[in-house]
Amino acid sequence: EPEVTQTPSHQVTQMGQEVILRCVPISNHLYFYWYRQILGQKVEFLVSFYNNEISEKSEIFDDQFSVERPDGSNFTLKIRSTKLEDSAMYFCASSAGGGSTDTQYFGPGTRLTVL
């Protein structure tokens, strides 16, 4: 069964460093998402992406964040200058359609630890 994959599974970085989190969505999906989950808290929407453009972003997704689909398979989240409060589990998701009933399939997540 097709699945969303994410690398790395765990990333440790120093405050102020740039990190790139990578995702390979399900191959025929067209809509891509990033969510994050701070330890012990709920999963929060960061950004949605379709047709090589950001469709929507949350207030969390400030100028330090960017997303890119550099080729036909990868979808990346870049944090330019990490802060302590960026420490969280980051989930990538993809769906075939962008409607409310289109199932979003989540990857296993990347745990980001900012020291």
Partner 1 sequence: QQQVKQSPQSLIVQKGGISIINCAYENTAFDYFPWYQQFPGKGPALLIAIRPDVSEKKEGRFTISFNKSAKQFSLHIMDSQPGDSATYFCAGVFNQGGKLIFGQGTELSVKP
Toward partner 1, which CB reaches closer, 79 or 93?
93
Contacts of 6 (CB under 8 A, 6+ apart): 21, 22, 23, 24, 90, 91, 92, 107, 108, 109, 110
Give me the least distance between CB of 44 and partner 1, in Å please. 7
Toward partner 1, which CB reaches closer, 73 or 103?
103
Sign, CA torsion 48/57/12/39: negative
Amino acid at 19: V
Give me the least distance between CB of 81 and partner 1, in Å please. 26
Toward partner 1, which CB reaches closer, 107 or 112?
107
Give me the least distance between CB of 42 and partner 1, in Å please. 5
Binding residues for partner 1, rule: CB under 8 A, are 4, 31, 33, 35, 41-45, 48, 55-56, 91, 93, 95, 97-109
Of 26, 23, 11, the C-alpha closest to 68 is 23
Toward partner 1, which CB reaches closer, 14 or 53?
53
Give me the least distance between CB of 23 and partner 1, in Å please. 11
Our measurement of the distance from residue 66's CA atom to the centroid of its chain's CA atoms, rounded to an integer in Å, reads 10
